[in-house]
Each structure stands twice: as C-alpha cells, then as structure tokens.
C-alpha cells in the first residue's frame, strides 16, 4: 500500500486499523481516479470519531443504543458518542424576544404551504425498462412541442395523448399542495411560474409528464405565534450544532494525530 496516499492513522497513540478508514471512504465523495482524496476525507472523519470515543471512555460514558426506526438500532459507538455529547454540550434555549427577533428579520421565510392548480399529460412507461422509456420519451417530446407550439389546446392534447385518467378532464389535476405528488413532480411545481409549461418532459416512476401550471396561490406569511415553536427549535438545534463543533475542535486542539489533517474543521 502506498504510504503517501494511505498513511497510517494514529490518534493519541492509538493505531486505527486501515480497514476502518477504507470502509469510511465509501461515504466520502471524491473525483474519479483520485483515491487519495477520498482516503484523506475518510481519515479525517475516522480521526474525529476516534477522538470522541476516546473522550467518552475517559468520561466513563455508558449509554445503551437507542432504536432509530423499527428494528434499526444505533451501534455501540454511535450510542457512546451521543452520550458524550449529551453530557459535554449544553445550550441555553433562546428567549422569546430572541425568537421574535429572528422572525422579524424576514417574516416572508415563514409561509403557509402553497397551492398549485396543475394540468399534465402523461406518457406512461416503466422507467426501469430502457427501451420502453426511450419510446415514451420520444413521444413525450413530440407532445411537448405541440403543447408549446400552440397548435392545439393543452386540454385537447391531454384528452388525446395522455395515459392518465385525468385525460377525461383535459389533464387537470386540480389543486395540489406539498406532499400530494411524487417528489420529482413536486420539484418542478416549485419552480414553474403561472401559465408556464415544461419544455422538457419530466420523468417520474409513472413515466414522462408534460406539466402546465394553471395557477399558483403562494402561501400567506404566518404570524409569529404560529411559527414561534418551530423557530425556537431551529435556533436551539443550530446553537447545539455550533457548541458540538466547538467541543470537537477543543479535543482536536489537545490531541496528537498522525495521518489526518484536522486543521480546518
């Protein structure tokens, strides 16, 4: 193994097995053909985890793994790190005055969900079937050209071309809100302006869609009382993350580390 690309990782005298760093590289993005970059990122991540585990043992942390989801539990290491941070990181909840000041900074950030009136034309296919997907795409491109060209009304096109049951009502889907449709479809709704039609077909699990935004009702700005608890929770979460980072940085500053560069964490 090339020692320059894959150096030994030693944290406070503890030699970390190469296998742990190698496993972590799967979670670290890096340019193709640049394994050294992925290794360095992984080494940094493993070094921090090792520091936290060492400190958990020093402080005598003893925490049982929690259930994260039905049948899925924390690892013992995850539980130890959580237990350590529970002990070491304390934050003071923001006051109501501070929370209201955050809201007043830009109340437009806190709105009720929007409503979209939408029509679409579906060229159905199974996206996993490549030949069928290609056929559906070509058909959808042709339909999109017709929709944008104005040679036929959108509702007439939908009634003639769509594979969705909404064809009987000219492709209209009525009013939709966040969460009412699949994520790929909703992502398009969030950026379409009123009266706009997608120039390129949109692929979802159902096939290719040509989508028209008939009308948009932007959510109203919510009063402070309606969002106070949400803002308070977000501010406390941000403060906790900042405090956890300061605690980790303090451990790094006192540590002796070889094979990782934590100078910019």
Query: Where do the domains of the chain lie, and which CATH numbers do they carry?
Result: 9-92+230-258 (no CATH), 115-217 (3.10.50.40)
pLDDT in tens, the chain (265 residues): 555 568 899 999 999 999 999 999 999 887 887 878 889 999 999 999 999 999 999 999 999 999 998 999 999 999 999 999 999 999 999 999 999 999 999 999 999 999 999 999 999 999 999 999 999 999 999 999 999 987 679 999 999 999 999 999 999 999 999 999 999 999 999 999 999 999 999 999 999 999 999 999 989 999 999 999 999 999 999 999 999 999 999 999 999 999 999 987 7
By C-alpha distance, which of 144, 240, 256, 255 is closest to 200?
144
pTM here?
Answer: 0.71
Token couple for 164:
């969705």
235, 248 contact by CB (below 8 A) = no
Count Cβ atoms within 10 A of the Cβ of residue 30 and give its class: 0-12 exposed, 13-18 middle, 19 or more buried.
middle
């Amino acid at each position: 193994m090339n020692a320059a690309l894959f150096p030994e990782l030693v944290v406070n005298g503890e030699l970390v097995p190469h296998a742990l760093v190698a496993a972590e590289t799967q979670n670290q993005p890096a340019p193709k053909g640049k394994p050294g970059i992925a290794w360095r990122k992984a080494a940094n991540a493993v070094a921090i985890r090792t520091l936290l585990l060492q400190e958990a043992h020093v402080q005598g942390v003893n925490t049982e793994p929690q259930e994260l989801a039905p049948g899925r539990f924390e690892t013992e290491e995850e539980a130890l790190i959580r237990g350590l941070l529970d002990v070491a990181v304390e934050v003071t909840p923001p006051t109501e005055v501070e929370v209201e000041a955050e809201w007043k900074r830009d109340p437009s950030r806190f709105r009720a969900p929007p409503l979209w009136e939408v029509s679409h034309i579906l060229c159905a296919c199974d996206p996993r079937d490549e030949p069928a997907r290609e056929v559906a795409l070509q058909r959808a491109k042709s339909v999109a050209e017709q929709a944008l060209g104005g040679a036929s009304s959108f509702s007439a096109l939908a009634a003639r071309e769509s594979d969705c049951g909404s064809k009987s009502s000219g492709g209209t889907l009525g009013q939709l809100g966040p969460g009412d449709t699949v994520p790929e479809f909703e992502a398009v709704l969030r950026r379409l302006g009123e009266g706009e039609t997608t120039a390129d077909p949109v692929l979802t699990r159902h096939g290719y869609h040509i989508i028209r935004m008939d009308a948009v009702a932007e959510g109203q700005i919510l009063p402070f009382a309606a969002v106070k608890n949400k803002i308070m929770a977000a501010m406390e979460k941000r403060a906790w993350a900042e405090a956890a980072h300061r605690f980790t940085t303090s451990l790094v500053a006192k540590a002796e580390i070889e094979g990782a560069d934590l100078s910019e964490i």
